[in-house]
Structure formats: C-alpha cells, structure tokens
Amino acid sequence: MADDTGLDFSDQIEALENKYQQALKDLYIRLTPIQRLTIARHPNRPTVLDHILNITEKWVELHGDRAGYDDPAIVTGIGSMNGKSYMFIGQQKGRNTKENIFRNFAMPTPHGYRKALRMMKYADHHGFPIITFVDTPGAFADLKSEELGQGEAIAQNLRTMFGLKVPIVTVVTGEGGSGGALAIACANKLFMLENSAFYVASPEACAAILWKSSQQAPKAAEKLKITAQEHYRLKIADGIIPEPLGGAHSDPVWTSQQIKLAITQAMEELTKMDTEELLRHRMLKFRSLGGFQEGVPVDPQKNAT
Amino acid sequence: MNICEQCGYYLKISSSDRIELSVDPGTWDPMDDGMVSLDPIEFHSEEEPYKDRIDSYQKKTGLTEAVQTGTGQLNGIPVAIGVMDFQFMGGSMGSVVGEKITRLIEYATNKLLPLILVCASGGARMQEGSLSLMQMAKISSALYDYQSNKKLFYVSILTSPTTGGVTASFGMLGDIIIAEPNAYIAFAGKRVIEQTLNKTVPEGSQAAEYLFHKGLFDPIVPRNLLKGVLSELFQLHAFFPFNKN
C-alpha cells in the first residue's frame, strides 16, 4: 500500500499494536475473580480430554463402574507420558451444547465417582501414579443421584484416596465445584491453572443464599476467595500453572505443555518417596488446613446459659 | 427426648441435651472447648461481619462452635463422641468443626476407643470458603487411619437435617450408619435440586425411611432406644464396660 500511495503508516501501526498488546496485558493482570471464573467456564476452554490428548503419547480410555453405568461426565484411562504409564481421571465438559448434554455439563452422578474409585484402586494395584483433572460445576444434584448415594460415593473417594500407595497429582483446569470436585482431588500436590477457580459454593448459589439474589455473584466471587492466587495463599494449591495471555483457549497446546511440565516435576519429586512417606505427605497436606485459635478466654456472658 | 407426645414428631435436640441423653452422668469430659474461628478468609458482608455473626451465635447457644467433642461412658463403655449442634449457624462445618472432629478421631485412634459422631448440619460453612471444603478431606484422612489402619469401630448417627459436605464425608463413612426416624438426609438439599432442575421435589423423597429402602443406612433407630442399641453394638464389636472384664 505504501508503494501505491507513497504514505507509510507502518510505524504508527506498530505503535498501535504495541499499545494494544500492553492494554491486553494490563487487562489480564487485573482480572476480577468473576472475570477469571468466566474464563474458567469459557465454552472454548480446553477440556480435560484435550489436555490428556495433548500431553500423552499413548492413551486408552477405560469405562464403567461395573455397577450399571458408564458416566460420561468422568473420563478415565491409562496414558503414557515420557514413556511412563499414568492413570488419568477427570471431569469432562462438552465442546458444544450437544456434547455438554451428553456429558451432563461435567456433573458426575454417583456412578461417575464409583468409576473413578474403581480406577484409583486399579492404579494402586498396578502401581500407576494417578493424575486427576478437575473441571466441574459440582456433583449432579437430582433425586436419582440422591437415592444412589451421591454423598456416600464422594465420601468413599475422599477416604480411599488417603490410602492409595501411588503418587497423586491434581490439576484444576477449569472450575472446581465443591465436594464434587474434591472427590477426585485428595492429592499429594494440587495445582491450579492461572484462571481456574475452586469454591465451596458457586458464587451464584452463595449470593442467592446470603443476599437472596444471584445478581450479586460478582460480590460473592470476591468474598469466597475462589481464585488460584487465593488458594495458593491459603496453601490449598501447591502451585499456579501459567496460561497464555487471554486464557487457556487462546493457546491450548501451550497450556497443556505447561501442565505437563508441572506434573512431571511433581511426579519426579513424589516417586522418590517410599510408601509410608508418600501417605504421610498426603495426610499432612490437608491436616494443616484451617483457620482457628485456641486458649482465648471466652466472654463469660456468652457462657451464662 | 424432645419427641412430641401427641404425634411422635422428632423435635430438634441441642447438642448438650443429646450428650446428657447418651453419656452416663458425671462421665462427660469435653475436649478443645475453647477453640474459635479466626475468620480465615476475612468474609465480611456489609450487613454483618462473620465474626459478629459467630459472636451472636455464641451468645444465643452458649456454645463456642457447631460441634461438641469429648469422651465419656455409654452404659459403662468408654467412648469418644462428637455431637453437632444445628442451632449454631445451621451446624455448618468450618475450620473449627473440622479440627475438633479430626482431633477427636486422632484421640480415639491413639486410645483405641470406639467413636460416635452425631450429625446435624447444613453442610460446609460458606463463610470460610474452600477451607471449609478441605475439612471434609482432613476428617476423611483421619478416618482412614482410624478405620482402615487401626480397624477400630465408628458409628455415625444422622439426625435431621444432615446435608451437603457432612453427608459427603464423615456422615456416610460410619462402619455402621444409624438414621433417626423421619430425619431429612441429603447431599443436595431440596432447594438446590429444585434450582438445578426446575422441578419440585416430592415430599418425603429425602426422608430417612425412603432412603433406607434405597439401602443407604443400616438401622433407623428411635431416639429413646438409641443408647441401648449403641451399647449392644459396641459389645458385639468387643468393646466392653469398664467394670466388667
């Protein structure tokens, strides 16, 4: 164009592009919790299967709880990374509405958790280290799941995970919705992607309960401290895995490589431990969590009942 | 007993009354009763800071938190027992509830005591964020050591209501799970299900009797028989009263 018109704007264009990049960076550094949650729930965000396929050389998906159902909301299977075999377990969202309906929006039923439990025991038996990926709005809340013992299924996983004699590493790739997320996340090391979130109640539900309006979700997201950065500060997360500018969906392959790097390093450290040390390590990670104080004299007026 | 003499309805019972009902007089020895929350994630809503809220519940109930833990004797059998109190912030589980129950289990593990946990809870406490959630893992980890390594005996008692994170951790992990008649027991409560599915939940579909038929608990035991049933169960598992043996 410059040749035709004799006008050369390339300097200005470059300056503007730099400005744009800078503005983008500034924007993404200062994301609010609810904005991060929006990225974590972005329809184009790489799903668990995307990450698994990106980081494994070989991959065999395994199915079914052997008790009536193969829950598509949880995917499980064996894959190899740098020639080593691992058990992969994760909640699977769909890439479009049709897939999401099939995957039940990654909300597992008790069948899903029991399938995960079967695979954890399988991995324990064969000595495969376990890698779990968390990306769920929560365990499925319907009457059928209640009757099948949703609470029991989650509880069994929590307790069983503390007895597995293989290393466990968890990566929160999207959203970690309460007990339904924790049921596959009792790990030796827990990592969170930069824009992922973990919460005890979704900001929408929290706002509805406390302020009777789900419009207050942004406020609730702030109060609930849902971000990766807050979880790292609370020592729930052991590390934050970086995402490309604009979020994981702007470069899924790069994001997967960062995940692989974090997992490989953690596994290297964990495989050096003997079984007893490994189990103790996992127990201690959770044993220290909580905020309380003791020995404070309680106002006698309060005890006067 | 807090049971209506006319219709047999089970009224809620405070943790102190429950302890009086289950533990032999003069044998209750409380643990960690001075532990209070630190407001670890600084959860302030404009209307009422979390700390003030805890203060007002402490004044109202005379308790420091939503669970009382300790040791005592049940028909002469030494036991470790934890009782949740629904009157204290809906029996919700935050850091203090998690820590007190974990310590109780650890104590029972070391002293080889049988364990009873009486549940009454709306679930994890939102005001402590993910830390509340992590208490589920912390308690389950202690139970793994108690139940799987030491092979000791834990009875969970589900009273109305037992929901959310309590159901999905120690509530459903009892070696034997006992429910109270007509207790409301759920993972996802009625409102949550209705909100998710946009359908109404039929009356009674989350009552102990209905779920019992689905195979979720061992016995449903009326409140007035509970102490007797527990002491029989303990003896069947070879935990005997102090004076005999």
CATH number at residue A133: 3.90.226.10
Contact (CB<8Å) A292/B172: no
Q: How much is the pLDDT for B245?
A: 45
Chain B hits for A298, CB-CB cut-off 8 Å, are 34, 36, 58, 64
Domain count, chain A: 1
Among candidate residues B219, B211, B178, the one with its CA nearest the CA of residue B22: B178
| Amino acid letter, residue B217 | F
Question: Residue A225 in contact with residue A199, Cβ under 8 Å?
Answer: no
ipTM associated with this complex:
0.94
Contact (CB<8Å) B95/A292: yes
Mean pLDDT of the B76-100 span? 96
**Is A7 part of a structural domain of the chain?**
no
Q: What percent of chain B has pLDDT over 90?
A: 78
pLDDT in tens, A23-61: 888 888 889 999 999 999 999 999 999 999 999 999 999
| Amino acid letter, residue B5 | E
Best of B36, B69, B134, B139 to disrupt the A interface by mutation (most A CBs within 10 Å)? B134
User: Which of B34, B94, B173 comes nearest A159 by C-beta?
Assistant: B173
Contact (CB<8Å) B168/A156: no
Q: How much is the pLDDT for A295?
A: 75
Tokens linked to A92 = 């699977």
Expressed as residue numbers, the domain containing A192 is: 31-199+225-282
pLDDT in tens, B149-198: 999 999 999 999 999 999 999 999 999 999 999 999 999 988 888 877 88
Q: How much is the pLDDT for A304?
A: 43
Q: How much is the pLDDT for B189?
A: 86
Q: How much is the pLDDT for B42?
A: 85
**Is A22 part of a structural domain of the chain?**
no
Mean pLDDT of the B115-128 span? 95
Question: Does the structure show a pLDDT above 90 at A63?
Answer: yes
Instruction: State the CATH class of domain B15-236.
Output: alpha beta
Best of B52, B140, B218 to disrupt the A interface by mutation (most A CBs within 10 Å)? B140
**Is A305 part of a structural domain of the chain?**
no
The C-alpha atoms of residue A224 and residue A199 are separated, in whole angstroms, by 7
Among candidate residues A88, A103, A90, A96, the one with its CA nearest the CA of residue A267: A88
The C-alpha atoms of residue A171 and residue A48 are separated, in whole angstroms, by 10
- Ordered by start, the domain boundaries in chain B are 15-236
Chain A hits for B43, CB-CB cut-off 8 Å, are 223-224
Q: How much is the pLDDT for B46?
A: 65
| Chain B contact for A152 (CB, 8 A cutoff) | yes
**Is A17 part of a structural domain of the chain?**
no
Question: Does the structure show a pLDDT above 60 at A305?
Answer: no
